[in-house]
Structure 1
């Protein structure tokens, strides 16, 4: 008996330390589970990609763009769409939206925890409900978007101001945009009734003059002019932003620089005019001398 008592006393500390170790492991695992939970989204929907029906062009090919989010207010002013750009495996999640004043909101985007992030810059679309009573005026509406890139721990936010409405217009690549028709151009009969675009060479074919029809205060912006073949060019006009335009129907002349590599003979111009709420308009016309 004198021997068994010390043995019993030796086992008890080991058992106590084992219980303490298990308790500690439970605490550690519980803490890890909490850290691994993604932030709760307040968005109506969140999805990868840039919406095909967006009223603005994706900014990827804008030379001045540095990865900032873009966004817009829906025509019925019921929702706000924000498109953020970051690693596709560590996307942002919309975690808060608050009213700053009658024309500005604050929107918070946070990353969920991650072990690794892909080295890409992918779009993610966040659609949020407009807070009650906000956005009923006619001014410019903006959102200050705070992006917390804290997939690997908390970080200071990156702040960006996004114009929501009216939408910023696309910048035209035209060298010159003027109302009316050049003095040396005679319009074909019935041009005003048809309203189809027309194209004319400038002096020495060093410039291209394209005439579009519509409100004189809101001509469509020329976004790109590319060579399809030595005998064909492709010109894309962007959609108009949702702003008030004069209710007239007049010609506007867009003067464009001509790419090199075209034939000296007849050249066809394929024109696409994008529409905000309808299919794009398509034309194929000869460029007249």
Structure 2
């Protein structure tokens, strides 16, 4: 329009320009809001007391430990809150029924990882025979344990033990504070054995003054080779004077 346009035309042009500017601003704000609604940052471990400790899963594993007197049942869920045994396991023929309930921990990390629960076996379980383990409760599934080819050597009180969960993963039972489970720092070959180095716990870590069995899972597949395997345990306050055999078959 020219300079001599009527005032009402100039006013209309001004309103259109203003509306256009407002519209552009709203579009830009919407674009920024869209960027802000992308994937949220993961929650920090232990940050939420209502984190789910367990999720039902068909992926259940098991390992012979403690000279065949116990098994470690492996489920998936929060690594800091393994489930606990509810009631007494029930043996019917060659099938062991184990019910699991949530950990008593108040805060659980929001991760999904394999973790192990120690299950003392009832009378009548022969570790030399195949055993089917049926898990119900906060995790569900079934694992099958092949009978041990040879009777395991008796283990002393508070002696560590280990067993194969699968062709790579082992469950390691140690004794100490129930609230301070050892964590694996390194796995290396030590001659014909596999060395498992536990991490040094933080200096400010608070541990209960009890002595209880703790189960740690370790992936030793790359170092294990073939044939029978024994573990050399060290670090993390764990004292294992001699190598311990890994029970079971891969």
Answer whether TM exceeds 0.5 for this pair.
no
TM-score bucket of the superposed structures, by smaller chain: 0.3 to 0.5
